[in-house]
Structure 1
Amino acid sequence: MTTTPAIEITGLTKSFGDNAVLRGVELAVPAGAVFALLGSNGAGKTTLVRILSTLSKADSGHAAVAGFDLATQTAKVRQSISLTGQFAAVDEILTGRENLQLIAELRHLDRRREIADDLLGRFGLTDAADKRAGVYSGGMRRRLDIAMSLIGDPPVLFLDEPTTGLDLQSRNEVWATIRDLAGQGRTVLLTTQYLEEAEQLADRIAILHQGTIIASGTLPELKGLLPPKKIEYVEKQPTLEEVFLAIVGGSGERRDGRPSTAVSR
């Protein structure tokens, strides 16, 4: 990781009418880290990601992404990022390969088929390359979506609640993909409502509540904010098995000395 943050935010605010969604957000995301942004519905996570990905403008404050000022170097920011939203943005009529080639064309890249084939292999989609994306499972569509976001090799990825609506198997597939991205040294800003997701994937975690960051740090640091654990003794009721063994004796014999091979009716 470099010492310069991949994302740096100071005093960011955003309101919609009388509704203040972001209230002076302060945040620094280290380069090469998976950074989880936790918050309940309405906390402002998606609004913040939309601002950082240049889809919306802040009312006040300053932000820089990949070293580029969000307000004055918007084009540079867009070249440095990719965004995967809550729902896979794949064209279900096109095949997996065609989806990838289309994005490569939109980014004005050469060797589009080679780029597509490389990403299909990296994301375990080679066997489904020529099938329509509409027949993909939820996990496959999400993996294709993330693969599409990597075209152009952006150093910063925004994953906005990437496992929303996925079943357990599909969620685990996406988790494995995110771990692979982290292993490649990319910076990933992950927004999620799922605490387990952040615990499994994130190097650092921030909690966004009512438009402000109220806590930030590694998982051990956040756990350290809580008071020490108290040891409490709870009365435990015996199970039927324990009752039976206590009555017949642990040696497998009844108290009258006869073998306890069966319970009499």
Structure 2
Amino acid sequence: MDRNEREHVIEVTDLRRVYGGGFEAVRGITFSVARGEIFALLGTNGAGKTSTVELLEGLAKPAEGRVRVLGHDPYAERAVVRPRTGVMLQEGGFPSELTVAETARMWAGCVSGARPEGEVLALVGLGRRAGVRVKQLSGGERRRLDLALALIGDPEVLFLDEPTTGLDAEGRRDTWELVRTLRERGTTVLLTTHYLEEAEGLADRLAILHEGRIAAAGTPAEVTASRPARISFELPDNWFLGDLPPLDELGVTGHEVDGRVLRLRTHQLQRAATGLLGWADRAGVELRRLDVRSASLEEAFLGIAREASESKEYAA
């Protein structure tokens, strides 16, 4: 294993994927994933997430660009890459009459160095359901079985496509904890998800795709830092916007007034909040319904999607 493989387990350079009819689903994206890192791909439906993951898994050949997983081309050298990776698809197709244990045992026979089926079923919370037929499982339990089969070969790289879809809140939290444990053991995880809370809580880094291109990338904190924080409160009776200190001196970049409620936007949250509270203290007024918060990943995601759409409309 060379140094580059140790540092970047997944490398994607100028990657493009084109379907029949000329539709370009992935339009020249570049990113890398380090060993032991959780990397999330986000995007609206049709943004190119699954199309990208399928190229990384070696299920299709790129139209252009370069992909390396563990130092190898996952399509041309699939026989080398596949035994070292685990894949959890959006939907798994299991024989409905087999039991959970039989399904895991069948899958174990297809991989080298398989872990005992009882061990992986216990990991995903299906240990007590081992004797149940697949057709009797709930949707959430089937997702757990999908995850168990992805883990049965003890992969170095794990691809998770919408891993918690269909799970209840408890199942989602359990899956998050399992993914964190895998990272601590050195497993590299690339996941797609529609749950922004999931990406914000799990991912070391992420990329937001929009129409096949990367619109933003970095740590969750870096991506959200590009969006303004918010301060909102109800103006005291007989006080008006003009009675506040000049908003630009507080570092406020924008505001809206909704009746008696004032909403401020700022990239300097501490400065704005300190200045505002200092003014209120000196003036002897109470800022009712005060809410101070940093931007969330959801706000960043929606803002990026909205701005990209507005830019497209303007260009048209």
Q: If the TM-score is normalised by the length of the shorter chain, which range does it land in? A: 0.7 to 0.9
AA of the residue aligned to 1:68: H
Residues 139 and 71 of structure 1: CA distance in aligned 2, closer, same or farther (over 3 Å): closer
Where in structure 1 are there 5+ consecutive unaligned residues? 238-265
User: Partner residue of 1:194?
Assistant: 195
Pick the aligned partner of 2:102 from 82, 89, 98.
98
Q: Distance in 2 between matches of 1:122 and 1:170?
A: 12
In the alignment, structure 1 residue 14 sits paired with structure 2 residue 17: yes
In the alignment, structure 1 residue 32 sits paired with structure 2 residue 36: yes
Q: Distance in 2 between matches of 1:184 and 1:66?
A: 17
In the alignment, structure 1 residue 127 sits paired with structure 2 residue 131: no
User: Partner residue of 1:171?
Assistant: 172
Percent identity at matched positions?
Answer: 43
Q: Distance in 2 between matches of 1:70 and 1:104?
A: 21
Q: Could you state the TM-score of these two structures normalised by the residue count of structure 2?
A: 0.67
**Matched position secondary structure for 1:6:** strand
Matched-pair contact (CA < 8 Å) for 2:143–2:167: no
Where in structure 2 are there 5+ consecutive unaligned residues? 238-316
Deviations 1:24-75 (A, max 9, x none): 0101011111111110000000001111111111101001001212354222
**Which structure has the higher relative contact order (CA within 8 Å, separation 6+)?**
1
User: Partner residue of 2:161?
Assistant: 160
Q: Distance in 1 between matches of 2:174 and 2:39?
A: 19
Shift of 1:236: 8.0
Q: Distance in 1 between matches of 2:116 and 2:82?
A: 20
Residues 170 and 124 of structure 1: CA distance in aligned 2, closer, same or farther (over 3 Å): closer
User: Partner residue of 1:52?
Assistant: 56
User: Partner residue of 1:4?
Assistant: 7
Q: Distance in 2 between matches of 1:57 and 1:50?
A: 9
Deviations 1:95-126 (A, max 9, x none): 111111101112266xx7x7112222333322
Q: Could you state the TM-score of these two structures normalised by the residue count of structure 1?
A: 0.79
Shift of 1:23: 0.7
Residues 63 and 182 of structure 1: CA distance in aligned 2, closer, same or farther (over 3 Å): same
- In our comparison, the structure showing a higher alpha carbon Rg is 1
- Superposed CA RMSD in Å reads 2.2
Q: How many corresponding residue pairs? A: 232
More helix by share: 2
Q: Which moved more, 1:82-91 or 1:204-213?
A: 82-91
Matched-pair contact (CA < 8 Å) for 1:143–1:177: no
Matched-pair contact (CA < 8 Å) for 1:87–1:162: no
